[in-house]
């Protein structure tokens, strides 16, 4: 938009509500409603044509629901920020909306007091979640352009953490060799699967193959777990490349990558996100590469992840990476985290 005017597209199939939202926004300086849409398909088309700064989007839309509309809009109008305003108040629905890259979510029953603060927050690049669902933690996903535009100092405001945070478990184990690593991780995975949880393994290809073989030898029906989405195995190098920037973990990218792994696994089980366990060696690989600060920061981010999702996390380190006095100090720091 020209100058400092913010162009807004309002999407809702109920005309009186659309009028309420448009009027509320138009009464504010520097906000201008440049279009309205009645259904999801119309929203996608107008978003592509108008390239608005902000899209106020309902979920329960005809022709194409708001979630799918947002998914398409993200590709066609990537610079447009999205604020969902919906009667849906389920935490699962909110998480799905946020995982698409929407920074804001307002429940319609509270729009009278929350709409304008939400618009302000979203336009500033901050997350806003309606008070009825703000006691949860929602992992943010965003495209690379948005991630690069956001400074690291803003990251903490992009994660809404509820008061009732309970860290299930974040453990670090040190292994003398590869064989011990495989035994320890297999034990962790077997316990999680037997408890009915989903497991995400982030490891090197050789470790993943050895762990899979050992699980099969122990009689675990790992083929069924994979088919059901309860056992997810991903390459550690690919994972690190997705969130390491300039040799340090980018928190926004870290939580996006984590959310993209956790949410599908959570849908495969009845326990939700709290029924997902993660084991990996990201920190160990970074340490072996001489990136001690990055390894420590990954453990700190894992602490926050355990709080967000109330899950069990096991991080494995090879003792072969620790040598002199400086390594001992790093060892102690990792243990503290």
Mapping DSSP onto H, E and C, the string for 50-104 reads HCCCEEEECCCCCCCCHHHHHHHHHHHCCCCEEEEEECCCCHHHHHHHHHCCCCE
* Higher pLDDT pick, 306 / 22: 22
Whether residue 221 sits in one domain with residue 145: no
Over residues 111-162, the pLDDT tens digits come to 888 899 999 989 988 888 887 775 555 544 444 343 333 333 333 333 333 3
Provide the domain count of the chain.
2
Q: Residue 337 has what pLDDT?
A: 56
Q: How confident is the model at residue 272 (pLDDT cuts 50, 70, 90)?
A: low
Same-domain status, 313 and 230 = yes
Same domain assignment for residues 123 and 44 = yes
Same domain, 202 and 294: yes
What is the pLDDT, as a whole number, of residue 108?
A: 86
Structural tokens at position 106 = 């307002």
Q: Report how far apart the first and last C-alpha atoms of the chain are (Å, whole number).
A: 46
| Shared domain check, 147 and 191 | no
| CA–CA gap between residue 149 and residue 144 (Å, rounded) | 8
Residues spanned by the domain of 113 = 6-158
Residue 67 and residue 189: Cα distance in Å, rounded? 33
Full-model pTM: 0.51
Residues linked to residue 127 through DSSP beta bridges, in sequence order: none
Work out the angle between the directed axes of helices 91-99 and 251-267 (0-180°, nearest 10).
Answer: 130
Is 214 within a domain?
A: yes
145 shares a domain with 11? yes
- In contact, 86 and 114? CB cutoff 8 Å: no
139 and 114 co-located in one domain:
yes
Same domain, 153 and 289: no
- Give domain status of residue 1, yes or no: no
Among 248-262, 266-280, 284-298, which stretch is predicted with the lowest mean pLDDT? 266-280
Q: Which residues pair with 201 in a beta bridge?
A: 233, 279
């Amino acid at each position: 938009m020209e100058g400092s005017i913010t162009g807004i597209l309002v999407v809702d199939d109920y005309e009186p509500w659309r009028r309420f939202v448009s009027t509320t926004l138009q009464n504010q300086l520097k906000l201008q409603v440049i279009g309205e849409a009645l259904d999801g398909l119309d929203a996608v088309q107008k978003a592509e044509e108008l390239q608005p700064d902000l899209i106020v989007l309902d979920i329960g839309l005809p022709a194409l629901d708001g979630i799918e509309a947002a998914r398409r809009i993200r590709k066609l109008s990537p610079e447009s920020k999205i604020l969902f305003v919906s009667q849906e108040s389920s935490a699962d629905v909110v998480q799905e909306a946020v995982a698409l890259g929407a920074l804001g979510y307002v429940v319609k029953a509270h729009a009278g007091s929350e709409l304008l603060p939400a618009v302000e927050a979203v336009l500033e690049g901050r997350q806003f979640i309606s008070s009825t669902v703000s006691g949860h933690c929602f992992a943010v996903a965003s495209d690379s352009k948005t991630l690069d535009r956001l400074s690291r100092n803003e990251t903490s405001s992009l994660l809404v953490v509820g008061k009732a945070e309970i860290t299930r478990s974040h453990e670090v184990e040190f292994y003398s060799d590869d064989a011990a690593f495989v035994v320890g991780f297999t034990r962790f995975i077997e316990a999680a699967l037997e408890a009915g949880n989903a497991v995400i393994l982030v490891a090197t290809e050789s470790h993943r193959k050895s762990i899979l073989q050992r699980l099969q030898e122990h009689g675990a029906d790992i083929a069924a777990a994979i088919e059901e989405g309860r056992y997810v195995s991903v390459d550690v190098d690919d994972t690190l490349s997705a969130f390491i920037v300039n040799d340090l973990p980018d928190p926004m990218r870290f939580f996006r990558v984590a959310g993209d792994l956790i949410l599908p696994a959570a849908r495969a089980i009845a326990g939700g996100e709290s029924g997902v366990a993660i084991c990996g060696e990201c920190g160990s690989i970074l340490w072996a590469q001489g990136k001690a600060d990055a390894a420590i920061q990954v453990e700190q981010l894992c602490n926050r992840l355990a709080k967000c999702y109330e899950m069990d996390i096991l991080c494995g380190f090879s003792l072969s990476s620790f040598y002199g006095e400086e390594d001992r100090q790093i060892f102690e720091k990792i243990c503290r985290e």
